[in-house]
Structure 1
Amino acid sequence: MKAHKYWSVGALIAMFGTYYTGYKKLKSSHKYFALSSMLCMVMAIYTGHKIITGNRKEKAKKEKVTDREE
């Protein structure tokens, strides 16, 4: 899924920004990078969860089709 890849890359970039601004002691920038990193990580987890669980309606349809074939 493309969305998962993009959110993961965004989180990685935001983490590097958080580290850099923390190293340079830029408190206001550090706060915004940390919040954006957290947002990207939450979205990456959500899209990853959607990949793993899939669509329940499609699974139910597949089960009905296999039951009819038997």
Structure 2
Amino acid sequence: MKAHKYWSVGALITMIGTFYSGYKGSKSSHKYFAASSLLCMIMAIYTGHKMIS
């Protein structure tokens, strides 16, 4: 399923951004990266669950 692959890649990219912004100490961008990472992970789990069932 293509949607699962794209959500998973998006989650990976935003996680890397979250770690990088946390390392640099940028509070506002860290918050946005973390929220978008959470959204991508939820959608990746949801599309993966639909793919399995």
Report TM bin, short chain: over 0.9
* Structure 2 residues not aligned, in runs of 5+: none
* Structure 1 residues not aligned, in runs of 5+: 54-70
For 2:47, the equivalent position in structure 1 comes to 47
For 2:38, the equivalent position in structure 1 comes to 38
| TM-score scaled by length of structure 2 | 0.99
User: RMSD across aligned C-alpha pairs, in angstroms?
Assistant: 0.2
For 1:63, the equivalent position in structure 2 comes to none
Q: Which has the higher contact order (CA 8 A, sep 6+)?
A: 2
State the structure with more CA Rg.
1
Deviation for aligned residue 1:3: 0.1
| TM-score scaled by length of structure 1 | 0.75
For 2:9, the equivalent position in structure 1 comes to 9
Between the aligned partners of 1:52 and 1:17, the Cα distance in structure 2 is 29
How many equivalent residue pairs?
53
Runs of 4+ in 1 over 2 A off after TM superposition: none
